[in-house]
Copies of this chain bind each other. A is one copy, B any other.
Amino acid sequence: MEKEFVTLSQGSGGSEMQELISRFAFSKAAQNAGWKNCDSDSATLDIGDGRSIVFTTDSFIVDPIFFPGGDIGHIAMCGTINDLSVMGARPLGISLGIVIEEGFSISELDRIISSIDKVSKSTGIPVVTGDTKVMQKGKLDKILINTSGVGIIDNDILLARKISVGDKIIISGGLGEHAVALLSKRFDYTTDILSDSKPVIEEMDAIRDKVKIAKDPTRGGIASILNELCEKHGVGMLLYEEKIPAKQEVRKVVEMLGINLYELACEGRIICIVSPKDAQSVEEILKKFNKDASIIGEITEGSKVIIETFLGKRILSMPAGTIVPRIC
């Protein structure tokens, strides 16, 4: 039976969200107009001369807006830069749509703007167009940011390649750090963990030639992204649980809160699919950026994501229900 009202779980990056956005039957018109990869981190359009435009968007409703290791401005810049980067593209420009609640503190706004500016300076990727709106007090919880991004890429660099059984799955660092840092403010516990929010441009530059597909495991975490890849490419996956990196303190907090590590949004991680011959080398390169980078699994026959644990095998399902609201 038809749900009549939008639920929180429909915004969580899991199966209910997929059901919700399946109502937006826009992809056929996009395909007819020549756009590809509309279900990827960024959509692409061949503009001739062997080049494609790369285009993406993301809205950020993170709560709290300031957290250890970042803030809503930082995450809004990194998220969109990363959605372009994982396609293999060099981002050219970012748009910034800010909606602010009347009465929001100007000094907090200045901190957010300064944070956006810092990411822009450190990456060399400018904010080129923007829009600012204000809503009456009580009509919006503090501030909301949309960033969209555009880039251009040579078609032969575009990371949208065919994956095969035996390919390796590599993650560029530990899971759960963004969630734990953010939830520490919400639940008022003390932690040394900082959000992993960061641009992944340098990592992508270093591994781009050796990677078939790269993904930005944000909402729904690796559980969501890996299940999506399996469905799209008609493959299965085997993950080695003891190889999946997460800091001890992250594991403790995740256990304490009873949430699933694999479903938590990362904001500065790449998960990539690499042919077996390149896997070792990609892992080594990524370890230079973050020592927790690791080969965590491989592509198999089948259609499910299976985790191999000390106690046997279990299925890692597409997330369902409300994972953790307003984490990104």
Contacts and interface: CB of A to CB of B under 8 A. Distances in A.
A3 interface: yes
Contacts of A110: 23
A45 B92 contact: yes
Interface of A, helix, strand, loop or mixed by DSSP: mixed
A57 B144 CA distance: 14
A230 interface: no
Contacts of A92: 33, 45, 53
16 contacts: A2-B106, A5-B102, A6-B104, A7-B102, A7-B134, A8-B102, A10-B134, A11-B132, A21-B130, A29-B120, A33-B124, A38-B128, A53-B93, A57-B131, A57-B146, A150-B150
* Minimum-distance CB pairs A-B, first 5: A11-B134, A57-B95, A148-B148, A146-B146, A139-B141
A30 B104 contact: no
A33 B105 CA distance: 31
B128 A23 contact: no
A29 B135 CA distance: 29
Contacts of A116: 26
| Count of this chain's copies in the oligomeric assembly | 2
A43 interface: yes
A302 interface: no
A126 B44 CA distance: 12
A103 B5 CA distance: 5
Interface residues of A, number: 81
A81 to B, nearest CB: 13
A55 interface: yes
Contacts of A129: 38, 42-43, 55-57
Nearest to A113: B24
B128 A93 contact: no
A38 to B, nearest CB: 5
Contacts of A49: 49
Contacts of A130: 21, 24, 26, 57
A61 B134 CA distance: 9
Contacts of A127: 24, 26, 29-30
A152 B99 contact: no
A278 interface: no
Interface in A146-161: 146, 148, 150, 152
Nearest to A49: B49
A315 interface: no
B45 A8 contact: no
